[in-house]
Structure 1
Amino acid sequence: MSPANTTGTGAYTLYYGTLDSPHILQVFIEMRDPDCAKMADSILGTIREAADDGKIVAKFHFAANLDDEVGGGGSRCALSALGAASDVGQSQFINYLGALFASQPHQVTDDPFSDASFLLSRASQVDGLRSAEFDQKVSQNAYANWAADAVADFETFGVLGTPTMWLDGRVVLGMPVGSTVTPAEFLAEIQK
């Protein structure tokens, strides 16, 4: 079972925007990765605006390296919850993605994303997201198998770290630890 608004072989890629957009932005992230949270804080809104303007479709690929390296299951559980949000709508998905990154713990060894009640509390911050159906999907980790397959699919791209972004197959962002990019810098990259 795959969520709505997925694409690619196996439907493992969540997307925001329209698939017939002139440019494809592939975003490689991990929900527990602090550098991904910095990227989201810096340019997630700009990605959304570019997609809303029809300039790009953003295709999100998710890793779970920290689940495997430091323990826990938060990256996969958060991805499962994001799948449930995508069933509600693209706007709810992208807003929930931002809300989760904004709530990311300061220590990667902390794993609140593995707790359904934490995920649901953050969903309350997103207009139109919470419903009995959404809550049930999150509480039951309904997309757990899909999330595991999506994480395995991430590995087929050969991306060495997160966050990384490709625009039409060209690397536009491979952020070293601790760096940030401004919305203006990001827009300049996607307009090259």
Structure 2
Amino acid sequence: MNKLLKCVVLMGLCESVSQTSLCTARGRYPNNDVEDCRGYTMCLMGGANNFTQYRLTCPIGFVYSHKEQQCTNVTSYSCHESYNCTSRGYFASESCTSYIACVEAINGLATARLIECPMNTVFNPEDGLCVHVNSYKCNIKSSDQTDLYTEEVFKDSRNFTFNGAFKINVRYIQNGFVCLTIALLLY
């Protein structure tokens, strides 16, 4: 029963299969052909040193995480289409508690991903990773305003019974610093 379920899920995600592929190695790679960072390409060895390319799409409300090599919900990892990646790497964002990842896709650079650092950490651009808040002083241009706002990241989705959810971000900003970020996932 379990094997059958996995097969059905894989078939449900599959968009296209190609024997002529851009794949040069086995793995999973972001695919910009699908909007909202939901697409990825899985390259598998097809025999005789040929690779078979599977173009897959994550369900609505999920994005493809290059870090986890799988579809993940958008609580700490999201598409950042307004940022133009010109090279691979990890770059500072507008907030100390997140960073922008520019990663290699199957056919060039992927759409930028905005990744939240774990709790009690900030992004250190010199090391390209999140470090404890006491290890690095974040220098973001400050403003004198205190702001509290919410943003709805994606609308209620009923396409999948397991994904009838939406997310609300709440951020408390004081003097240009994000002091508190709460991500609420409602089912």
Q: Which has the higher strand share?
A: 2
Q: Which has the higher helix share?
A: 1
Scaled by the length of structure 1, the TM-score of the pair is 0.21
Report which structure shows greater RCO (CA 8 Å, sep ≥6).
1
